[in-house]
Amino acid sequence: QAVVGIKLPLLRGLLIDERRTRLFQARNLANLNLAGGDEMRNEVLFDATQAYWDWYYANQSLEIIENAIIISDQRFQAVKDGYFAGDKPAIDTVEALIQLQTWQLQRQDAQVKLNKATLNLSNFLWTEEGVPMQIAFESTPGTISEDPASTLETINITEQGNWVSSHPSIRKYNFKQKELEYERRWKKEQFKPQLDLEYNLLGNGLQFQDNASNIPFYNNYKWGATFSFPLFLRKVSGGYEMAQLKLLDNDLKRSQKELELENKINQITTELQNLQAQYGNFSSMVANYERMYEGEREKFAIGESSLFLINSRETKLLENRLKLLKLETEIFKTRNKLLWAGGRLVP
């Protein structure tokens, strides 16, 4: 006999049931995975950008040292020529050679560090086909036109208030909270009694009546209602309490993460401000070292200074140029760290 009918829940399952719960959770899972992907990309971009600035520092350090070698070699040749001409003592040639050899040793160390930084940066370069790429060792970074002393101004500070709420990690917690809320609603729904109304239309054999004057609803049908309610609610109550605890746990973790991110952003912002203030003062100091060095060179050229003094001025100048470069690189790395902490590296 052909039978067709419907079953309508009137209490439990009317507003939410397990099937709809799983459907809502599946839709929410897509957003949860997107937030997780953004979180991973933010981490990878942070590591890649930090590796770039390490490579930039190693490259520029080598360039500063190579310039020092050129100057020291020219001075050594000039002192040697002066010795053969009888104008300079032999000890001056030894001192000039020691200065040249010192920078040559530093160049070897700087070259090793540059090679390591180049290989480290190459770890992040891949083709679209998934083939790893290798940066040529003779490659150089582009010119930085941005003033390190004002790099914080390139960040929209007014948007920092939204950084935490839109951070991929917080978005993950938000979507997880939705998933757990769907689960809690379904657990709560199970406290209701099961009351289902059924209506079945019965056919004549394999056929249903098609006579309009003989309406099936009034002639050949079966309807009924089923009611059930468990004597003990331990299982239902335990499931609901567990869902509540999961919601609370996720909410507490989200609040903790929000606090950590907010404190980290404020901490890095303060660190960046201090570095920029140091850069302004250090730039002025390096400029003064340059004036002292140039003045010493002029005095040396007319015989009013010694090779020891000019070597000392040169060493101090180049040491502080390297320190200034280190500070400049640290500023850009800290800015990158700030954007990472705010989850802003992801496009």
**What are the pLDDT digits (tens) for 247-290?**
999 999 999 999 999 999 999 999 999 999 999 999 999 999 99
Residues 79, 95: Cα–Cα separation, whole Å: 10
Confidence at 5, pLDDT banded by 50, 70, 90: low
Confidence of residue 164 (pLDDT cuts 50, 70, 90): very high
**Per-residue pLDDT tens over the stretch 62-72:** 999 999 999 99
What pLDDT sits at residue 218?
47
Give burial (CB, 10 Å; 0-12/13-18/19+) of 211. Answer: exposed
- Tens of pLDDT along 210-249? 554 455 454 666 777 787 777 777 888 888 899 999 999 9
Range 289-316 average pLDDT: 89
What is the Cα–Cα distance from 315 to 114, expressed in whole angstroms?
A: 21
Domain ranges of the chain: 41-191+233-341
333 vs 157, residue with greater confidence = 333
Q: pLDDT band at 16, cuts 50/70/90?
A: confident
Higher pLDDT, 208 or 145: 145
On the CB side of 306, how many CA atoms lie within 13 Å of its CA?
A: 7
- Which residues, including other chains, have CB under 8 Å from residue 176's CB and lie 6 or more apart? 32, 250
Q: Is 317 within 8 Å of 289 (Cβ atoms)?
A: yes
pLDDT value, residue 51: 96
pLDDT of residue 58: 96
Average pLDDT over residues 128-152: 83
Give the pLDDT of residue 212. 41
Beta carbons of 75 and 93 less than 8 angstroms apart: no
pTM of the model: 0.81
Region 307-317 average pLDDT:
89
> Which CATH superfamily does the domain covering 41-191+233-341 fall into?
Outer membrane efflux proteins (OEP) (1.20.1600.10)
